[in-house]
Structure 1
Amino acid sequence: MVRKIGWRVLPFILFSYFVAMVDRGNISFAAATMNADLGFSETVYGLGASAFFLGYSLLEVPSNLMLARFGARIWLARIMLTWGVISILTAFIQTPWQFYAMRFALGVAEAGFYPGAILYLSTWFPGEHRAWAISRFYVSLPLSYVVMGSIAAPLLALHGMAGLHGWQWLLIVEGMPSVLLALVLIAALPDQPGTARWLTLAERCWLEDRLAREAAAAGALSHHVLRALLNPFVVMLGAANALNYVAINAIAFSAPKLLAAGTGMDVAGVGRVVSAGGLAIALGLLIVGPLAGKTVARTLMAYSGFMGLAAAGLSVLWLAASPTSTIAGYILFFAAAQTAGMLPLAVVSRLIPERDRPAGLAMANTISQGVAFFGPLTWGVLADATGSYRLGVALLIPLSLGAAGMAQVARLRARTVRAG
């Protein structure tokens, strides 16, 4: 039955998250020519890239609470419609402040989607199947890199058509699917098992009973916690992933320029490397889902292991002396870090009571994304100050190791609480 639910629910969430990641990350390819056309420095670009996370983190908790109130179908469709429109409008910026404003607005529009999707999946999949479900929907993230890497060069080559720059065409074309998919969600996404006519009465009863028993167990586990926003697992795992996302976003928003500098490749060549990184992430997700989802302890061990691999990838990238080592370091880091990134919220959804999940999941992601604001900004400042990305890469290595260590602290606490 779990796979039956997966086939009816996951495609909607997968495609939605896919276009979200395209609209969030396509600015990295647009920057290859946009920065020169508009006279943006690395610091200006880094601040604009970071502004997204400021808007995202401020509205994360309110957005998830609104999703719990209005239902996933309406609220996720609203999110997609607004971020699609804003992504398209970003193509017409002319000044740094317009860039900052549009990236901030895109973060506000997208706020709540990822934890909202996790919350939505938690109403359909029992705990031991949740990491599997999340890994299947999260695979849309690496697929977005595959697509962005593949179509960036052709879209940038539209430079001059209808009087627009290539980077403008890239933002417009890649923003349109979000608007169209919003209409699909409003028409077809099922809100909850109780309204799914394709489930039999026996299946609905089994699922609702299973989820109710899990919710009761989670309530007993967190009896010391007065409010979801102060839940220690929310804070610890949110902070661990914050360190991870600082590194991810620092690299992601400058990946085309970083790879071009380290390999001498043109946009098409860099796009192929980014696509290869996406395929590596997809492979990691397919591996980690079944391995990590059985227990909280195993999931957190998997997280720490992947963060160790991420630190190794950054070390290779930092010491890179050839195009081959640059590519290898980038792919190892990005595949490991992004694979790890899907695990903390899966754990949080199992360690807090059902009534606290909307606020708890949103707060964990708020911590992660709020701190991530500093990644692209600091990266840009360091690049302008030193003339390269080398120092920035070196400073990211201890962050990945710190995330691995914090996950182990959370694992030990979870074991202690369960034993008590």
Structure 2
Amino acid sequence: MDAIETRTTRKVMWRLMPFLFVCYFVAYLDRVNVGFAKLQMNEALGLSEAMYGFGAGLFFISYFLLEVPSNLALDRFGARLWIARIMLTWGLISGLFAFIEPIARLTGISHEWVFYGLRFLLGAAEAGFFPGIIFYLTLWFPSVYRARVVALFMLAIPFSSIVGAPVSGALLNVEGFGLSGWQWLFLLEAVPSILMAFAVIAFLTDHPHQARWLTAEESGWLEARLAAEKRQKEDTHGHFGIGKALSDKRVLACSFVYFCHNAASYGVAFFLPTIIKDFGLTNVQTGLLAALPFVFGAVGMVLLGRASDRTLKRRQFLFASMLISAIGVAGAGLVGSPVLVLALLCLGQIGVSANPPLMWPIPSAILTGTSAAAGIAAINSIGNLSGFAGPFMMGWLHDRTGGFGTGLVVLGAVALAGGLVALTLRTGTEARAEDLAPGAQAAE
């Protein structure tokens, strides 16, 4: 590896990744803190499990509708301004969940429908954030580094739960100024997103040639490397327009795999605090134990992401992680012991956390430019539709069976189906031998 490559990559890594990690940390916290609020909110608002599951999942309907337009806007206006807009609007809407009761009184709309409306608006506000960051990383990192940088970025998911679960559990005990614990949870956890919106404007740089924190030699090397990779992808796969990107069978296959992943991920995440609380624990104890699966998930994400970059066997590692997800999630639905349930959920979270970093380098090895923005957004938007289906199905099955076992088994089966499709994802040669990290082998 050349000295210029080592120096430039390290500098870009340290400049961008910690900041993007914090951005996604607060984003994911605002997305799933409803799972903890539910422990008090359902009774306060008169919501059933099915109502809650439906409302939790509505986030992903508006997310789906606006994902591609949002990512195309990011490509046009630049990541810095568009990501700041996203973070500001979702922070403000997330805070409004604390005031569902007064909003209902003022408008005459039921608690249930105010909850539905705010979840829908939250999805609309956040649409484009995750695929926008994935696209943004393709503007800064050569392909051989992408699984590890996506893994580092997505470590924010398990860490938001490792840190956020105990904090959210503790906030449920906060009372004051006429607000209950679940209301304080929404209000206080919205503040970091609003503050980060202004930090994004001050800190992010859209393109390497605009980076005053890189030398001319470093930015020149990086842009030349990325341009060479773009030409190589176009020579290998042809030029992709937006329409072709959205209809390519590999993009559609990735969408299905991501759909199956998110069904298992969100179907469990939105109900995990309830599953653990049913062990007979306090709110604080629930928060502490709910963090445990994500500790295992963080380790699995990093280790599997690094191994995938070393070998470039993307689809094999993706299948293995989906299989681990299926075994852990379905297994948790088949046992009765709280210890075994938690252990299997920890196993499942290893696969669930590792899936996205292993999958996202696959479409980025095919698509370039605006087609990459559209294709990545399409995969994410279609995949996230299961963020509606998974939680709604879990709540619906719970109301009919009286437990979460059946829902967990179904989610495990869905993850297994995604793993089988992952085995079909062939991208051809993804990098020339001289572009590979030390010890890497040619891809498939």
The verdict on a shared fold, with TM-score over 0.5 as the criterion, is yes
Counterpart of 2:419 (choices 400, 404, 420) is: 404
* 1:20 positional shift: 0.3
Counterpart of 2:255 (choices 217, 235, 238) is: 238
Residue 257 (1) aligns with residue 264 (2): no
Counterpart of 1:148 (choices 131, 142, 164) is: 164
* 1:164 positional shift: 0.4
Q: Distance in 2 between matches of 1:299 and 1:268?
A: 39
Counterpart of 1:67 (choices 74, 80, 90) is: 74
Q: Report runs of 4+ in structure 1 exceeding 4 Å deviation.
A: 413-416
* 1:403 positional shift: 1.0
Counterpart of 1:292 (choices 301, 308, 324) is: 308
Q: Secondary structure at the match of 1:351?
A: coil
Counterpart of 1:126 (choices 142, 148, 159) is: 142
Residue 116 (1) aligns with residue 138 (2): no
Counterpart of 2:245 (choices 228, 232, 251) is: 228
Give the RMSD, CA atoms, in angstroms: 1.8
Match in the other structure for 2:100: 93
**Aligned 1:21-420 pairs, distance under 5 A:** 21-94=28-101, 95-159=111-175, 161-223=176-238, 227-261=244-278, 263-294=279-310, 296=312, 298-411=313-426, 414=428
Q: Distance in 1 between matches of 2:386 and 2:336?
A: 31
Q: Secondary structure at the match of 1:83?
A: helix
- Check the 8 A contact 1:88/1:175 in 2, yes or no: yes
In the comparison of the two structures, how many residue pairs are matched?
415
Match in the other structure for 2:3: none
- Check the 8 A contact 1:238/1:344 in 2, yes or no: no
* 1:321 positional shift: 2.2
AA matched with 2:122: L
* 1:252 positional shift: 0.7
**Higher mean C-alpha deviation, range 51-60 or range 264-273:** 264-273
- Check the 8 A contact 2:298/2:353 in 1, yes or no: no
Q: Distance in 1 between matches of 2:424 and 2:307?
A: 20
Q: Distance in 2 between matches of 1:221 and 1:419?
A: 13
The structure that is helix-richer by fraction is: 1
* 1:419 positional shift: 11
AA matched with 1:12: F
Q: Distance in 2 between matches of 1:419 and 1:312?
A: 28
Which residues of structure 1 form unaligned runs of 5+?
A: none
* 1:143 positional shift: 0.6
- Check the 8 A contact 1:84/1:179 in 2, yes or no: yes
**Higher mean C-alpha deviation, range 55-64 or range 344-353:** 344-353
Residues 123, 294 of structure 1: CA spacing in aligned structure 2 closer, same or farther, 3 A cutoff? Answer: farther
- Check the 8 A contact 1:313/1:331 in 2, yes or no: yes
Which residues of structure 2 form unaligned runs of 5+?
A: 1-7, 102-110, 431-441
AA matched with 1:284: G
Q: Distance in 2 between matches of 1:250 and 1:407?
A: 20
